[in-house]
Amino acid sequence: MKNFNGQVLFLDRSDINTDEIIPARYLTENSRDALRPYLLEDLSLEGFNFKTDITGKSVIVTRANFGCGSSREHAPWALEVNGVHLVIAESFARIFRQNMFNCGMMAIELPQEVLNGIFTDYAGTPTHVTAQIEDRKLIFQNQKKTDTVPFSIAHFDAELVRTGGWVNYADAHY
Amino acid sequence: MGKTVAEKIFDTHRVGAPLDDVHIIRLDAVFCHEITTPIAINDLIARGKDRVFDASKIKVVIDHVSPAKDSKTALQGKILRSWARRHNIQDFFDIGRNGVCHALFPEKGFARPGYTIIMGDSHTCTHGAFGAFAAGVGTTDLEVGILKGVCAFHYPRSIKIQITGQLPEGVYAKDIILSVIGRIGVDGATHKVIEFSGPVVDAMSMESRMTLCNMAVEAGATCGICYPDMTTVRYLWKHIQHEYSSPDQALASFSVYLPDKDAVYDAIVEHDVSGLEPQATFGFKPDQVKPAKELLGTPVDQVYIGSCTNGRLEDLRIAAGILKGRKISESVRGVVSPATSSIFRQAIEEGIIQTFMDAGFCVTNPTCGACLGMSNGVMAEGEVCASTTNRNFNGRMGKGAMVHLVSPATAAYTAIAGYITPSFHKP
Ligand code: SF4
C-alpha cells in the first residue's frame, strides 16, 4: 500500500482540470517519471507557483470537480511521481477518480461544510494529514489544532488501494 | 421497474456478481490511440503480460500527432505500430488511412447499438450516438481492457435530456450541446449517462448526434446516448448488411436497447431550442457559454475547423457554404483539418477543399493536432482562437492562449470578419 500521510497543499478552487494538472504538451512522454517537473504547471490560481509550492507536499486538499477534462492518467501519475497519493475534495470527475484508485491511490470526497471548515481552519498554515484507512478517519493537524474527520470509501475502491491497483486486482479475479 | 439504455446494456454484459455498486462488464470493443496506449503496453510488457484478450475487438489508430512532430511522438507511434503487428491486430489505421479516432471508428462501423466500448480518451462518449455505452477511461482501465476484455463501472444512473422545439435556421448541434452544458454546468452530469432524445435529436443526422454526444463529457457525463433508429441503421448498413436480412430487421434487433417507458431517471430535462442562437464560450470552462453575438467584435488570431466534435463532412459543408466566393480576413489564420482520410477525399470531390483554399484557409491532413495544442496550429501566448473543438481549458491549444468554442458556421463567419460573429457582419 502507498503512503497517504504528509503535508498538505491547499488548492482553493473548483473545476481544476487535467490540462492544468499536466498539460497536453507533456503527453508525449513515455515514462511516468518524466512528468515530475510539470505537475500543475498551468494551474490558474492566484499566487500559486508550481515550481516551489508542491515541494514537500504529499496530500492535496481542494474544492469541487477536481480532475475534470481529459481521461489522461498522466494526471494521477504526475501526482504519484511527486509523492502525492491522496487528494481530498468535495467531488471528482469520474475518470480522474477511477484513475486514482486504479493506481492504488486515494481520491476522498468530503462534504462541502466539512471542507469549508478545513479551509477556514488550516489553509495557509503548515498542515499535516494522517489517513487511518482501517478506521476511515483523516486527522488534520497544524500548530494550533487537530481535527479527526471521518470519510467513506467503497469496498471495491478500498480493495484497489489494498492490492495496489486495478491491474493486480483484475488479474487475480478475471 | 423499467430500465434505461445503459442499464439494459449493463444487464447483458455483466460478468460475475456486482461488488457493491461496481459492475464488471464485458467489452465489445477496445479503442486505442498513440497517446494513452503506449504506457499501457509498456506496463503490460514490464508485468510479463504482453497479451491481448481478442485481437479482433481491438481497434487502433495513430491520430493525435500525425505525422509525428518529433522523436518522442515518433516513438509513441512506433510502440503502437509494433504492438499491433505483434498481436496481429487487423484494424490498425496508420497515416494515410487514419483519422481522428471518434470520427474514424464510427465510419468503419465499429460502434453499434448495445455495444460496450472503452478507450483511453475522454471523448469516447461520442460513440453513444449509436446507442452504445462508450466511456473514456484512463490507461490502467485501458490496460485491463486490452488484457482481459472487461472494465469496472458504477451501475449507471441516467439523465434524460429531451431536445424539443423548432431548431432555427443557422443553429446546429454544436450550439445545442453548448447551451445544454451552459445550463447544467461542467459537473451537471458527473457519474451519469445522458440520454439525448426528443424530436430534434430524432431529426438529426448521425454526424450531428455525434457532435451532441461528443461533448457529454464536458458536463461530466460518462456517456451520451442517442436511441438507435433508421438513421442509425442507414449509417451502419454497409457494415451490417451481411448480418441482417433487411434494415427493418436490424432496427428490430437494435430496439432491445431502447429504454423502457417506465425507466427511472435521476432527472428529465426538457431543453427547448426554439429561438436558440449560435453559441460561443467565453472563459476557460465549457459551461461559460453565451450567445455568440454578445462576443461580437472580439478579435481572433486563428480560426480552427476540425476535431472529433466538428471535423466531419457535414461540418465542412456548412463552413464551405459560407466561405464560398469569399476571403477570410487578413488578420486571421484559417486552419481546417478534415477529421478522416475519407472525409478529406470526399471534401476534395465536392470542391469543399477548393473553397477553403480559395478563401485563404490552410488545409491540414487529418489529425487531432491543434485541438490539444500538440501540432498543426498551436497558439502563442495571448492569442485568441475561434475553434470548432470541444475544450476551452486554459492552455489547451497553447500556453496562455484563449479558445472560444463555436459551431463550424460561426467559425466561418468569424474567419471572414476577423472577429467573433455568428453571421455576415460589416463593422
Ligand atoms: S480531436 Fe481533440 S478532443 Fe477529439 S480526440 Fe483528438 S484531441 Fe481529443
| Chain A residue nearest residue B120, CA to CA | A71
Cβ-in-10-Å burial (0-12, 13-18, 19+) of B409 comes to buried
CA distance B51 to B58: 12
Residue B127: all three cell numbers together: 460513440
CB of B144 closer than 8 Å to CB of B248: no
Which residues make Cβ contacts (< 8 Å) with residue B294, sequence separation at least 6?
none
Other C-beta atoms within 10 Å of B48: how many? 7
CA distance B123 to B135: 8
Helix (H, G, I), strand (E, B) or coil at B342: helix
Taking CB atoms and an 8 Å limit, are B120 and A73 in contact across chains?
A: yes
CB of A87 closer than 8 Å to CB of A100: yes
ipTM, 2 dp: 0.87
CA distance B193 to B195: 6
Residue-level pLDDT at B427: 77
Q: Which residues of B touch A68 (CB under 8 A)?
A: 186-187, 220
Q: Is A162 on the interface with B (CB under 8 A)?
A: no
The conformation of residue B424, written as its DSSP 8-state character, comes to -
Q: Which residues of B touch A34 (CB under 8 A)?
A: none
Which string of DSSP letters, residue by residue, matches B97-139? S-B-HHHHHHHTT---TT-EEEESSGGGGGGGGGT-EEEE--H
Taking CB atoms and an 8 Å limit, are B394 and A19 in contact across chains?
A: yes
Taking CB atoms and an 8 Å limit, are A19 and B391 in contact across chains?
A: yes
B24: nearest CB among A32, A98, A174 = A174
Residue-level pLDDT at A10: 98
CA distance B37 to A73: 11
Helix (H, G, I), strand (E, B) or coil at B405: strand
Residue-level pLDDT at B123: 97
**Residue range B134-154, pLDDT digits in tens:** 999 999 999 999 999 999 999
B187: nearest CB among A28, A64, A72 = A64
CA distance B207 to B310: 9
Residue-level pLDDT at B319: 98
Amino acid at B170: G
**Confidence label for A79 from pLDDT (cuts 50, 70 and 90):** very high
Residue from B138, B164, B179, B149 nearest B279 by CA: B179
Residue-level pLDDT at A28: 87
CB of B98 closer than 8 Å to CB of B130: no
**Residue range B159-193, pLDDT digits in tens:** 999 999 999 999 999 999 999 999 999 999 999 99
CB of A40 closer than 8 Å to CB of A20: yes
Residue from A13, A19, A72 nearest B395 by CA: A19
Taking CB atoms and an 8 Å limit, are A95 and B190 in contact across chains?
A: no
Q: Give all strands (DSSP E) within B242-299, no chain letters.
A: 267-272, 279-281, 289-291
How far, in Å, from the CA of B400 to the mean position of ligand 1?
Answer: 20
CB of B64 closer than 8 Å to CB of B35: yes
Per-residue pLDDT for A30 more than 80? no
Lowest mean pLDDT among A21-35, B68-82, B195-209: A21-35
Q: Is A33 on the interface with B (CB under 8 A)?
A: no
The predicted model gives A80-106 an average pLDDT of 96
Lookup result for grid cell 431517471: B265
B393: nearest CB among A28, A69, A103 = A69
Tell me, using a 6 A CB cutoff, whether residue B372 lines ligand 1. Answer: yes
> Ligand 1 atom 2: the closest Cα is on which residue?
B371
Interface test with B, best of A21, A28, A41 (most B CBs within 10 A): A28
Query: What's the gap in Å between the CA of B198 and the closest CA on chain A?
Result: 27
Q: Which residues of B touch A99 (CB under 8 A)?
A: 138-141
Residue B278 — left, alpha, or beta (φ > 0 → left; ψ -120 to 50 → alpha)? beta
Segment holding A173, helix H or strand E: helix A166-173
CB of B285 closer than 8 Å to CB of A15: yes
Residue-level pLDDT at A69: 87
**Residue range B292-340, pLDDT digits in tens:** 999 999 999 999 999 999 999 999 999 999 999 999 999 999 999 999 9
Percent of chain B exceeding pLDDT 90 equals 97
**Residue range A54-76, pLDDT digits in tens:** 999 999 999 999 999 888 999 99
Helix (H, G, I), strand (E, B) or coil at B401: coil
Which residues make Cβ contacts (< 8 Å) with residue B274, sequence separation at least 6?
B165, B166, B167, B168
| Chain A residue nearest residue B193, CA to CA | A94
Amino acid at B418: G
Nearest 5°: the CA angle A13, B126, A107 is 35
CA distance B44 to B40: 6
CA distance to B5, B144, B175, B186, per residue, from A107 (Å): 29, 20, 34, 19
Averaged pLDDT of chain B: 97
The 10 Å CB-count burial string (b at 16+, else e) for A115-130 is: beebeeebeeeebbbe
**Confidence label for B390 from pLDDT (cuts 50, 70 and 90):** very high
Helix (H, G, I), strand (E, B) or coil at B33: strand
The conformation of residue B56, written as its DSSP 8-state character, comes to G
The predicted model gives A147-173 an average pLDDT of 91
CA distance B333 to B397: 14
The 10 Å CB-count burial string (b at 16+, else e) for B236-245 is: beeebeeebe
Segment holding B361, helix H or strand E: strand B361-363
Averaged pLDDT of chain A: 94
A156: nearest CB among B22, B124, B148 = B22
What are residue B72's phi and psi, to 5 degrees?
-70, -45
Residue-level pLDDT at B103: 98
Helix (H, G, I), strand (E, B) or coil at B253: helix
Lookup result for grid cell 447544467: B184
Residue-level pLDDT at B404: 98
Residue-level pLDDT at A168: 84
Torsion, Cα B49 B53 B56 B59, to 10 degrees, reads: -60
